[in-house]
Amino acid sequence: MELVILDTAEAIAERAADKIEALLTTKPDAVLGTATGSSPLPLYDELTRRCAAGRLSFAQVTGFMLDEYVGLPAGHPERYATFMEVNLRSRVDMRPGSLHGPDALAEDLQAACAQYEEDMAAAGYCDLQILGIGSDGHIGFNEPGGPLDSRTHVDVLTEQTRRDNARFFGGDIDAVPTHCITQGLATIMEARSLVLIATGEGKAKAVAQLVEGEVSTDWPATVMQRHDDALVLVDPAAASLLTSR
């Protein structure tokens, strides 16, 4: 696992975009895994700029989202399908319908999980997976305590995660869904490359565990230590609890 500390979110976005640009240059029809939340937003801005400048193209790219809330209706502004449409898909030359997410509105959620895993397997899983990290160390919505070999599944969001995400719901934790569908940790680890972005002091403890802690179900992101190509991009605040740099 490679750790890179950069001074600004913009510098982090440029470094992550460099890796994606290199991938799309050599493999225009790559499979890209996308993440939501505030951490990847500067990256999506940078990818949009590079696409407009003709430096890269998403015209042949297939995308798979990490996760989705259960219970939010289609078109809800905080639904992750909406987030990805607004912040990336519609801003670049990615074909409509080429960015996929789990069907969190399905009557049979277990069947939806199995179908999503099957769809990713059929595509060969992701060439590159973009990740953020929760303050409790989750990646995707794989909350602490879950198995490290999990596949796409329904998960229950912890109170900490719901409190962290309440800022997207007007500060109302009761408006944050209690369940989600998420790629499992083993699903995420199928990607050929992982790029994790973390900024801010609120992520410092999770980053310290990710980089320097033992692999543990208590800190799900630590499974990334077992990946052959994992890039962790953080700012000084997120790196502030590391004992060695």
Catalytic residue IDs: 67, 136, 138, 143
In this prediction, residue 245 carries a pLDDT of: 62
Q: Where are the domains of the chain?
A: 2-189+222-233
- Quick one: pLDDT band at residue 57, thresholds 50, 70, 90? very high
In this prediction, residue 244 carries a pLDDT of: 76
pLDDT, the chain, mean: 96
> What are the pLDDT digits (tens) for 83-123?
999 999 999 999 999 999 999 999 999 999 999 999 999 99
Position 33 pLDDT exceeds 80: yes
CATH annotation of 2-189+222-233: 3.40.50.1360
- Quick one: pLDDT band at residue 15, thresholds 50, 70, 90? very high
CA dihedral 200, 204, 206, 207 (to 10 degrees): 90
Position 75 pLDDT exceeds 90: no
Position 19 pLDDT exceeds 90: yes
> What are the pLDDT digits (tens) for 199-230?
999 999 999 999 999 999 999 999 999 999 99
> What are the pLDDT digits (tens) for 137-174?
999 999 999 999 999 999 999 998 999 999 999 999 99
